[in-house]
Amino acid sequence: MSDSTRHSIQQLDELTINQIAAGEVVERPAQVVKELVENSIDSGCNKIRIEIVNGGFSRISVIDDGHGIPRDELKLAIKRHATSKISSSEDLRTIVTKGFRGEALASIAAVSKTILSSKVRGSEGFSITVDNGLIENIELIGIPPGTKVDVINLFEKIPARLSFQRRPSTENAAIVDIAISLALSESKVGILVEIDDRVVLDCPPCDSMEDRLYDLFGSTSSKLIPIESSENDNNAPGKENWNGWISPPGISRSRSDDIHVIVNGRPVNSGPFLQSIRRGYHTRLMVGRHPIGVFSLNLPTEEVDVNVHPTKREVRLQHSWRVLERLERCIKYTLSKISTQPEFKDLTILEGINIVENDGGDKEDSEEFIPSWAQVNKKEKIQTHFSSIRTSVDRVTPINYNSDLNNFEQQTLPGLDSNPISQSLSSEERKLHRFSLGGESVSPVDEPRSEAAIIPDLPKMNVLSQFSDSYILAEGDGELFIVDQHALHERIRYERLRSSMVNWSPQELINPVHISLGAREISAARSNSERLLDLGIRFTESEGKIFVESVPDVLIGDSGIVDFIHDLLIDISSHPESRGIDTVEKLRDKVAFMKSCRGSVKANQELNLAEMRRLLLDMRTVPNPWACVHGRPTILKLSQNHLDKHFGRHG
């Protein structure tokens, strides 16, 4: 031990304490905005104005029209742990306000020049300034009823903290994200954000949540689906209730930024809920895509602890596993009711002709309707691609037909987008597809008939022909369907096999497998031996080593036994309530996919009329026939109306 001088224990001064506390509460300008806006909402205001200069480092101003703060409480308002939200420790179990600790103003004032101005209706307005923890005198000021907080030169006198801050543009984006989250949680409060003298977000007070969704998501909000619970869930134990809106599988994003979770009116980090949301969508989204969703959880206040994180962005649920399972079931039930909708009918069109739409009515019903090909435009449009995205490109350079056409490789139609509409397969999916190439295809007519009921909303399709030995052409209800035969058969087999082919009965290994486990995994194995046995896994311990003596039948001969057991034990140790269900579901999905893909009909495989008819008949028994197991489309639908528009037959 080194010979160092002992320092005596001493009480820190209030300024130092406040600056230390500010390190937890005030991480960045966006966090300052969050704390101040939450205070404004708690004050009962109707409108909040947020003004930002230089990413919030130069100035942050939050103005509201709430109750205001009386003159004799201004100095108390900037003291640590001074609040009007709670009065005793018992109140921590029944928190319904956004804030409750009374730390925000004191922490902000310790690292900036903060001016707190407020006026109670029927009295004069007053202002108090705190310069990096030094309190100045209260002054008379003329302001409208409500409160205004100006935070000037944040972190200016703490260079070490300032040097670790992000760029102003990054902070601006984070501030807008926080404003959106709070706007979703409080639809009756108007929120306006002005950054560098430019309004970037304006959400007026709304009477309905639908109006607020339109303010934030635009026309996409009309496509969102209200979350519903099944009758069984309504009668299930627990008082928690999920509601909100989710996007159908046809609308997705590359990131999870548009997933918002609100617990008892408080926006929280969506991270802990994403796994349940993904399980709810399961194979209905393309790989790497995320839905749009606003998920609102209401439950008794005594079943949620909001006092677990300095920024209050995380909460602890008393019955977390039950709540997450209910969320997954709600999503599955909601999506099951729209399983027959491949895309929105007004978006699934044969594109290319620049049809001008009239918001006041359908032009084809008008005598003055002129198809777009007959209209004079400054810029010609040509067919681009089949999709739900309304785009067009300049006319492509025509091929020189005087040259030898046989030297040309086969290309796309003129103007057709060379990039695929669907995303390419991931590396893991390519591995599984390579595995399937060596298998023999099973004829659809040789497979057992599905016992599932026919979904009545699906149209009955009549087979017309097979195109390029890969696509089935069919008609039904006045629409033309182009079906990817491999993708559809893969989906049908996947749904049939997933629930029936995994045998969890234990199979004895001739030679027990030695597995090297970490301390967490060993603890999980010992405390969950019965659960492991339910999954066909039995192990023994000898001289501190773990030997697996039996595994489920599905893993016999699989080189991934060790990896599966590792994943299962980590899953159980991280989420004891789950009992390893995530790992089990992944194995079930993997096996179902490999067997369904290996036995399904392939592209470039000629099918007879009976096989095509059987595929279309089985399609009507599948909950989600419009997407393959990767979430990619299986069917292109063209209505007669779209074709008539394309060929100018209206009018």
pLDDT tier, 342 (very low <50, low <70, confident <90, very high otherwise): very low
Q: Which of 285, 312, 336 is the last residue of a domain?
A: 336
The beta strand positions in 160-235, using DSSP E, are: 190-195, 198-203, 225-226
What's the pLDDT score for residue 439?
55
Q: Which residue has better confidence, 75 or 370?
A: 75
What's the pLDDT score for residue 558?
55
What's the pLDDT score for residue 578?
61
Q: Are 217 and 69 in contact (CB under 8 A)?
A: no
Q: Which residue has better confidence, 92 or 280?
A: 280
Residue 391 forms part of a structural domain:
no
List CB contacts of 172: < 8 A, sequence separation 6 or more: 52, 55, 56, 195, 200
Which of the listed ranges 220-229, 360-369, 623-632 does the model predict with the highest average pLDDT? 220-229
Q: By residue range, what is the domain housing residue 129?
A: 14-203
What's the pLDDT score for residue 250?
78
| pLDDT tens-digit readout, 359-407 | 444 434 434 444 443 444 444 333 333 333 333 334 444 444 444 434 4
Q: Could you tell me which residues are beta bridge partners of residue 266?
A: 263
Least confident stretch, 150-154, 292-296, 436-440, 616-620? 436-440
Q: Is the pLDDT confidence value at 3 over 60?
A: no
Q: Which residue has better confidence, 460 or 186?
A: 186
Q: Is the pLDDT confidence value at 259 over 90?
A: yes
What average pLDDT score do residues 438-465 get? 73
- 31 with 166, same domain: the answer is yes
Residue 505 forms part of a structural domain:
yes
- 509 with 609, same domain: the answer is yes
pLDDT tier, 175 (very low <50, low <70, confident <90, very high otherwise): very high
Q: Which of 170, 203, 236 is the last residue of a domain?
A: 203
What's the pLDDT score for residue 492?
85
Residue 451 forms part of a structural domain:
yes
Average pLDDT, the chain: 78
What average pLDDT score do residues 98-127 get? 89
Q: Is the pLDDT confidence value at 192 over 80?
A: yes
- 232 with 178, same domain: the answer is no
Q: Which residue has better confidence, 67 or 346?
A: 67
- 137 with 223, same domain: the answer is no
From 594, 285, 634, 342, select the one nearest 486 (Cα to Cα). Answer: 634
Residue 161 forms part of a structural domain:
yes
Q: Is the pLDDT confidence value at 145 over 90?
A: yes
H helices present in 122-206, as ranges: 159-163, 168-185
Q: Is the dihedral of CA 209, 215, 217, 219 positive or negative?
A: positive
- 240 with 125, same domain: the answer is no
- 174 with 248, same domain: the answer is no
What average pLDDT score do residues 473-495 get? 87
- 498 with 533, same domain: the answer is yes
Q: Is the pLDDT confidence value at 339 over 90?
A: no
Q: Is the pLDDT confidence value at 605 over 80?
A: yes
DSSP character for 474?
E
What's the pLDDT score for residue 319?
87
Q: Is the pLDDT confidence value at 104 over 90?
A: no
- 520 with 605, same domain: the answer is yes
What's the pLDDT score for residue 163?
80
Hey, what amino acid is at 333?
Y
Least confident stretch, 78-92, 134-148, 322-336? 78-92
List CB contacts of 504: < 8 A, sequence separation 6 or more: 534, 535, 536, 552, 553, 554
- Three-class HEC string of 266-291: EEECCHHHHHHHHHHHHHHCCCCCEC
What average pLDDT score do residues 477-485 get? 88
Residue 240 forms part of a structural domain:
yes
Least confident stretch, 60-64, 257-261, 632-636? 632-636
φ and ψ at residue 613, rounded to 5 degrees: -65, -40
DSSP character for 253?
B
User: Percentage of the chain surpassing pLDDT 90?
Assistant: 29
Q: Is the pLDDT confidence value at 167 over 60?
A: yes
Q: Which residue has better confidence, 87 or 570?
A: 570
The CA-based angle 168-174-179, given to 5 degrees, is 125
| pLDDT tens-digit readout, 293-333 | 999 999 998 898 887 777 778 888 988 888 998 999 999 88
- pTM (2 decimals)? 0.66
- 260 with 193, same domain: the answer is no
pLDDT tier, 440 (very low <50, low <70, confident <90, very high otherwise): low
What's the pLDDT score for residue 118?
95
Residue 395 forms part of a structural domain:
no
From 540, 536, 552, select the one nearest 515 (Cα to Cα). Answer: 540
* CATH code for position 605: 3.30.1370.100
- 216 with 177, same domain: the answer is no
Q: Is the pLDDT confidence value at 434 over 60?
A: no
For residues 398 and 403, what is the distance between their CA atoms, to the nearest angstrom?
A: 12
Domains: count for the chain: 3
Residue 300 forms part of a structural domain:
yes
- 56 with 197, same domain: the answer is yes
What's the pLDDT score for residue 388?
36
Burial of 356-369, coded b for 16+ CB within 10 Å and e otherwise, reads eeeeeeebeeeeeb
- 166 with 26, same domain: the answer is yes
Least confident stretch, 377-391, 468-482, 499-513? 377-391
End-to-end CA distance of the chain: 95
* CATH code for position 21: 3.30.565.10
For residues 67 and 87, what is the distance between their CA atoms, to the nearest angstrom?
A: 19
What average pLDDT score do residues 172-184 get? 92
* CATH code for position 307: 3.30.230.10
pLDDT tier, 79 (very low <50, low <70, confident <90, very high otherwise): confident
Which of the listed ranges 57-66, 129-138, 548-557 does the model predict with the highest average pLDDT? 57-66
Q: Which of 180, 203, 226 is the last residue of a domain?
A: 203
| pLDDT tens-digit readout, 275-299 | 899 888 877 777 678 899 999 999 9
φ and ψ at residue 220, rounded to 5 degrees: -60, -30
Q: Is the pLDDT confidence value at 183 over 80?
A: yes
From 180, 73, 195, 197, select the one nearest 126 (Cα to Cα). Answer: 73
Residue 431 forms part of a structural domain:
yes
